[in-house]
Chains A and B, each alone.
Chain A
Amino acid sequence: MPSYIIKRILTMIPTLIVISILVFIIIQLPPGDYLESHIAELESQGETVDPQQIAFLREEYGLDKPMWEQYIVWISGFVQGDLGFSFEYNLPVSEVVGDRMWLTILVSFFTILVTWLIAFPIGMYSATHPYSWGDYGLTFLGFLGLAIPNFLLALVLLYLANQYFGTSIGGLMDSEFIDQPWSWDKFVSVLEHLWIPVLVIGTSGTAGMIRRLRANLLDELRKPYVVTARAKGMGEFRLLTKYPLRLSLNFFIADIGSLLPSVISGAEVVAVVLSLPTTGPILLAALQSQDMYLAGSFLMFLAILTVVGVLVSDIALAMLDPRIRLHGGIEK
């Protein structure tokens, strides 16, 4: 087991390096560096720019050095926790990011949990009652969740809440807790607001998961051992829970790998619509103002989050399933 984990972590490193190079290229693609456009903007507003500060920043981030050296400076800073400087906010990136990263993780975590809780019973029902009206109805509901872009669902919910309850459901906590240190009340308030984004983001992933669970379980239920067990007179419920269900549990964990990127993607846009204090709105703003260090850090963070999430799911899977431990991989 330890050797599997070590091997798995080692294969993660080259992926992360390639990702970081990609992100850096994206940061560098806009013509000119941020400082130039920043100075031009300030001068057009008639303000003067402190040349010392500019020189300091240019020196600090090596903006006059060749590309690969800038990359080394950026990535070594990133590894040490110095994420660069947000020119838009005039603050170190790590201070702008702050709680947002944790809230993104929180939202993603609960979304996956809710996706499971919804998909699991529905998938089970669909697989045990294939081609029934219930199966068709639930499948259609799943498809509907897939087809409604989740930012629009968020918009519609906002509209309905606004129209019929006169309240705003945006945000992730009551307004009095914003910028307050973490306390129990704040935590409760976050939990109270959490269900809307979680439900909205969850709708798109649930459909796919139901369909895959149904297909997997159906295949399993057709196998001879199930027929044998039934022939021996085993009850239907026990028959389902004894082996087929346990096999499909495996698949639930393996599916995090494909679920996580889409959950994080969905969370970004929904966050913009619901104005959640997660990474979404700031990433959008950073991209629009080409505040590239900030945008780059967010992209890098989201990629790391995905890669680590997949790693955790792989390790959990290896713990559950000895076949993977021994052969070092699963065919999906």
Chain B
Amino acid sequence: MNKHWVSDKPFNPYVSEEITAEQEKFFLASQWTLIWWKFKKHKVAMFSMFFLVAIYFVAAFAEFFAPYALESRNTQKIYSPPQQVHFFADGSLTRPYVTGWDYKLNLQQLLREYKEDPSKRYPVQFFCQGDEYKLWGMINASTHLMCVDSPGTLYILGTDRLGHDMLSRIIYGARISLTIGLIGILLSFTLGLTLGGLAGFYGGWIDHAVQRTTEVIRSFPELPLWMALSALLPLTWSPLWIFFGITLILAMMDWTGLARAVRAKILSLREEDYTSAALLMGATPARVIRKHMMPSFFSHLIASASLSIPAMILGETALSFLGLGLRPPITSWGVLLNEAQNINNVAVYPWLMLPVVPVIIVILAFNFMGDGLRDAADPYHH
């Protein structure tokens, strides 16, 4: 008869209820910490977020990152194709340089011809002195990230009809195109939250009015309405006012989705016991919404907001492309693309279409980040 084996360690009847340090950390973490942990797992979304932060940083310091100032024109180098940056000289790696860039007008075919002149070399310098500018209109400076010495030119993405450097224009354009998305979403967020909150909380005729309004706006095809409204902006307005006008128009069409989501949430949360308790204790509706209701759906709102920023950027690009949105001297990606509208132009000077690239990358990044945020928004759901 064999004996049962019995462990001689002390017996702990609560072993199944004990939690490890790791579990304890998880259980004690706040909602936002959990969201952050879940978001971190989404590699593409994380990468997109860092990319967007970087690109906003570049846009904020556009004056420094752009090789040339916004107004700087080189009338000798109109429609210059992209210049190649060389890394090899005589078969060995050297510091990057550009060669001389000779311009000749071909009168037979009426073409501008550019040719490299390998005998001249201009090394690309970093943190060097170039065009003077006022950072944010306040600080005088002339330091640029990259430039070359004076007779040489650094047109990495070519130049346009007036001899502006395309790369500089794209970097300056980022500032406008990216802020339009942010300001627009701020406006539409405020509108959607307020109107959706009112409709959901009070119900009755307010709810009806808001519901019908959103229905009407949603049944309009967006772009034609945008076109109509922005065609109404007076031509005499200053560029800054046009900028705000366009942002407002974009936001006016966008808030309906958010308002519907907020209304539906608040409508259901209003029935919860804790809401009644808060109201009975004398909390104002604004406080109840802010303190007791919003935390449960705010993360979702941020996620859906981040998904509608790209729609706004695209909207601005489309409007400016058609000539109804922003107008020069304001430089946005849409304004730059407006010059690529003519297919004959594009066939001869294909680099005019390059502003498409940042548009596509930024929209993709916003979409991936928004996707990650949406997955992370509900950290208790598996």
Name A's B-contacting residues (CB within 8 A): 14-15, 18-19, 22, 26, 29-31, 143-144, 146-149, 151-152, 155-156, 158-159, 162-163, 260-262, 264-266, 268-269, 272-273, 283-284, 287-288, 290, 295, 298-299, 302-303, 306-307, 310
Contact = CB atoms under 8 A, between A and B. Distances in A.
In this complex, the member of A152, A295, A299 whose beta carbon has the largest number of chain B beta carbons within 10 angstroms is: A152
A302 B367 contact: no
B363 interface: yes
B227 A261 contact: no
B156 to A, nearest CB: 21
Output the residue of A26, A162, A268, A307 with the most chain B CB within 10 A: A268
Given A146-B363, A162-B347, A288-B323, A265 B219 contact: no
Interface residues of B, number: 41
B322 interface: yes
Interface in B314-339: 314, 317-318, 321-324, 337
13 contacts: A19-B216, A26-B232, A144-B360, A149-B318, A149-B356, A155-B343, A265-B222, A273-B341, A284-B227, A288-B323, A290-B231, A298-B224, A299-B228
B367 A152 contact: no
A30 B219 contact: no
B67 interface: no
B264 to A, nearest CB: 9
A15 B215 CA distance: 8
- B218, B223, B314, B341: residue with the most chain A Cβ atoms closer than 10 Å: B223
Nearest to A23: B228
Interface in B52-77: none
B364 A144 contact: yes
Contacts of A310: 219
Given A159-B346, A264-B221, A273-B341, 6 more contacts: A22-B216, A143-B367, A152-B337, A152-B353, A284-B324, A287-B227
A147 B363 CA distance: 5
B229 interface: yes
A269 B347 contact: no
A220 B225 CA distance: 37
Contact of A284 (B222, B322, B347): B322
B136 interface: no
B359 interface: yes
Nearest to A303: B220
Contacts of B310: 146-147
Given A144-B364, A147-B367, A19 B353 contact: no
Given A155-B343, A269-B318, A299-B225, A261 B360 contact: no
Contacts of B234: 31
B216 A15 contact: yes
B340 interface: yes
A262 B322 contact: no
B96 interface: no
Interface string B349-368: 01001001001110110011
Contacts of B356: 148-149, 152, 156
B230 to A, nearest CB: 9
Contacts of A159: 343, 346-347, 350, 353
Contact of B219 (A15, A29, A149, A162): A15
Contacts of B322: 269, 272, 284
B9 interface: no
Which 8 pairs of residues, A with B, have the shortest CB-CB distance? A265-B223, A287-B231, A147-B363, A264-B221, A147-B364, A261-B221, A265-B221, A265-B222
A151 to B, nearest CB: 6
A307 B218 CA distance: 10
A315 to B, nearest CB: 16
Contacts of B215: 15
B359 A152 contact: yes
B228 A268 contact: no
